[in-house]
Amino acid sequence: MFESAEIGRTIDKSTFDAEEPALREALLEAQYELRQQARFPVIVLINGVEGAGKGETVKLLTEWMDPRLIQVSTFDLQTDEELARPPAWRYWRQLPPKGRMGIFFGNWYSQMIQGRVNGRFKDAELDQAIAGAERLERMLSDEGALIFKFWFHLSKKQMKARLESLRDDPLHSWRISPLDWQQSKTYDKFVRHGERVLRRTSRDYAPWYVVEGVDHHYRSLTVGRILLEGLQAALASPQRRAAQPHVAPVSRQSSALLASLNLNQRLPRDDYRHQLASEQARLARLLREKKMRRHALIAVFEGNDAAGKGGAIRRVTGALDPRQYRIVPVAAPTEEERAQPYLWRFWRHVPARGQFTIFDRSWYGRVLVERVEGFCSEADWLRAYGEINDFEEQLTDAGVILVKFWLSIDQDTQLQRFREREATPFKRFKITEEDWRNREKWDDYADAVGDMVDRTSSGIAPWTLVEANDKRFARVKVLRTLNDRIEAVLAKD
C-alpha cells in the first residue's frame, strides 16, 4: 500500500516552476466553477505520517486557490461543547456547504489510528470505528459530496531524517511533532494500523491517495493534480451528484513504482543451479512442517506477457509431489462462472488447510486486463480493490498464507521473447495476435499495475515485484520470497 510512496521521488525546481502557474490557474478556475454550480461540496481529508508535509501542502493549496472558498478545520482536543455531544457532531458542524471545499486535519481517521496506537482499544473497536467511517462517508457521498482522502507518507528512514532536519532549522523547529514520533516503534505501529484502516476504507466512492512526502515539489504537484483532475471530472459529470472519478495522476504516480525497479539484475548459471536447488529443498521441507497443517498456501502469479510465469511456477512445483499442490490457470470465465459474482470462480478454488494452490493469473484480472480492455465498467473495477481486500482479509484471517507475484520485464525483453516464440515450433502456440495488441497498451497496463499495488499490497497480503528480465534471477527470487514468507508466518504461530 505504501510501496510506491517510499521510492524517493522528486521533481526539480525548474519543472515545478514551469508547471505551477498553469496548475494554479486551473485549480482556481475549477474552484469558481464549483461555487457557480453549487451542486456538491468537496471534502478533503488529510492524514499520514508525522513530518510528511501535511501542513505545508495544505498551506500551499490555500495560497494557490481562493482561501475564502476553502475552510480548513483541525480537530485536536475536543472542546467542552463537543465533549457534551456525540463524537461525530464536531465533524458535522464543520461540513462545507455545496460549492465549497472543506479540508479536515485530525479527522476521524486520525482519532481512530491514534487510539489504536496508544492502546486505548483493540482491533475489534478499531473495526467498529472503521465501519462508522464507512457509513459516514457513504452517506456523504450519497448526498453528493466529492471526497478526497490523502495519506502523506514517508519511509521510516525518511521520517527520521526529516524530523531531524526540521529540528535543526530554527524557522521550522516549532513544527516538531510529539517526542514519541522520534521513536521508531511508534512509526511501525502507526503504519501497521494505518494500513488496516486504508485497506478497509479505500472504497470506490472515497478512495485513498497515498502521496510520497519527501520532496515538496513532488508532493505539491501530485496533490494539486489529483484535486484538479477529480474536480474537473466531477464538474463535467452530468449526474445530479458528484461522481467519484478515477483520477489519473495516481496512476502516473504509481507506474513510477515499476520504473523504479532494476530489471536487469542477473544470476549466473552456477549460482542459479545452486540457489534453486537449495530453495526448492527448503520449500519441500517447509511444506512438510507440522505447523503447515493449520495453514493453506496460495501463490498468485501475475506479470507481463512472456514474463516467465509458467517457468517460475514449474520451478516452484519442481520440488513437490504432484498431490501436494494444485495449479489453477485463469483464462476467460466459463458459462457457469459468468452466471456468478466475479469472485465466485476464485472462491471455489480456495484451498483447505494443509493445501497449496497456485493461481496462474487470478482475481486481479478485474483490475488489470478487464480494466485496460474495458471488459468491465469503471465502476466495477474501482469497487474491485475494496472487494479484493475484503476477500484476501478473509483468506488470511482463516490462516491462508497468501503470496502475490508480479513478474516484470521491459518492452525490449518482451519483444525478443515474442520473436523467439514465433521462431520456435513448440512455443508458437504461446504467441497470439492478442499478445501483440496488448503490447500497444503497455503504459495502460503499467498504470493498472501501479494502482493495483498501491491499493492491494498490505502487510497481510503484500505484492512482490519480481525483476524478470533474467529468468534465473526471477525464479530464485520467487522461490525465496515464498519460503521467507512461509517461515515468517510459521514463526508467529
Please, what is the minimum distance in Å from the beta carbon of residue 130 to its own copies?
A: 8
Kindly state whether residue 184 participates in binding its own copies, applying the rule CB under 8 A. Answer: no
Nearest to 107 by CA among 128, 136, 81, 83: 136
Kindly state whether residue 30 participates in binding its own copies, applying the rule CB under 8 A. Answer: no
Kindly state whether residue 289 participates in binding its own copies, applying the rule CB under 8 A. Answer: no
Nearer to its own copies, 38 or 423 (CB): 38
The site for its own copies, by CB under 8 A, has a size of: 56
Kindly state whether residue 227 participates in binding its own copies, applying the rule CB under 8 A. Answer: no
Among positions 17, 66, 81, 422, the unique one binding its own copies when judged by CB under 8 A: 81
Kindly state whether residue 89 participates in binding its own copies, applying the rule CB under 8 A. Answer: yes
Q: What is the largest CA-CA distance in the chain?
A: 79
Of the listed pieces 3-11, 122-130, 207-215, 314-322, which binds its own copies according to CB under 8 A?
Answer: 122-130
Nearer to its own copies, 12 or 390 (CB): 390
Q: Per-residue x/- mask for its own copies, residues 144 to 163, rule CB under 8 A?
A: xx------------------
Kindly state whether residue 88 participates in binding its own copies, applying the rule CB under 8 A. Answer: yes
Please, what is the minimum distance in Å from the beta carbon of residue 144 to its own copies?
A: 8
Question: For the chain, how far is it from start to end, CA to CA, in angstroms?
Answer: 25
Q: Per-residue x/- mask for its own copies, residues 362 to 401, rule CB under 8 A?
A: ------------------x--x--xx--x---xx-xx-x-
Residues 94-113 that bind its own copies (CB under 8 A): 95, 97-99
Nearer to its own copies, 224 or 351 (CB): 351
Among positions 15, 17, 92, 180, the unique one binding its own copies when judged by CB under 8 A: 92
Q: Per-residue x/- mask for its own copies, residues 38 to 77, rule CB under 8 A?
A: x--x------------------------------------
Of the listed pieces 112-120, 139-147, 246-254, 357-365, which binds its own copies according to CB under 8 A?
Answer: 139-147
Q: Provide the residue type at 287 as one letter.
A: L
Kindly state whether residue 131 participates in binding its own copies, applying the rule CB under 8 A. Answer: yes
Of the listed pieces 157-165, 297-305, 335-343, 415-423, which binds its own copies according to CB under 8 A?
Answer: 335-343
441 vs 424: CA distance, rounded Å? 25
Nearer to its own copies, 295 or 417 (CB): 295
Nearer to its own copies, 85 or 314 (CB): 85
Among positions 178, 238, 322, 341, the unique one binding its own copies when judged by CB under 8 A: 341
Among positions 105, 181, 342, 418, the unique one binding its own copies when judged by CB under 8 A: 342
3-state SS, one letter per residue, for the chain: CCHHHCCCCCCCHHHHHHHHHHHHHHHHHHHHHHHHHCCCCEEEEEEECCCCCHHHHHHHHHHHCCHHHEEEEECCCCCHHHHCCCCCHHHHCCCCCCCCEEEEECCHHHHHHHHHHCCCCCHHHHHHHHHHHHHHHHHHHHCCCEEEEEEEECCHHHHHHHHHHHHHCCCCHHHCCCHHHHCHHHHHHHHHHHHHHHHHHCECCECEEEEECCCHHHHHHHHHHHHHHHHHHHHHCCCCCCCCCCCHHHHHHHHHHHHCCCCCCCCCHHHHHHHHHHHHHHHHHHHHCHHHHHCEEEEEEEECCCCCHHHHHHHHHCCCCHHHEEEEECCCCCHHHHCCCCCHHHHCCCCCCCCEEEEECCHHHHHCHHHHCCCCCHHHHHHHHHHHHHHHHHHHHCCEEEEEEEEECCHHHHHHHHHHHHHCHHHHHHCCHHHHHHHHCHHHHHHHHHHHHHHHCECCECEEEEECCCHHHHHHHHHHHHHHHHHHHHHHC
Kindly state whether residue 21 participates in binding its own copies, applying the rule CB under 8 A. Answer: no
Kindly state whether residue 296 participates in binding its own copies, applying the rule CB under 8 A. Answer: yes
Positions in the binding site for its own copies (CB under 8 A): 38, 41, 81, 84-89, 92-93, 95, 97-99, 122, 124-125, 127-128, 130-132, 134-135, 139-140, 142-145, 296, 336, 339-344, 347-348, 350-354, 380, 383, 386-387, 390, 394-395, 397-398, 400
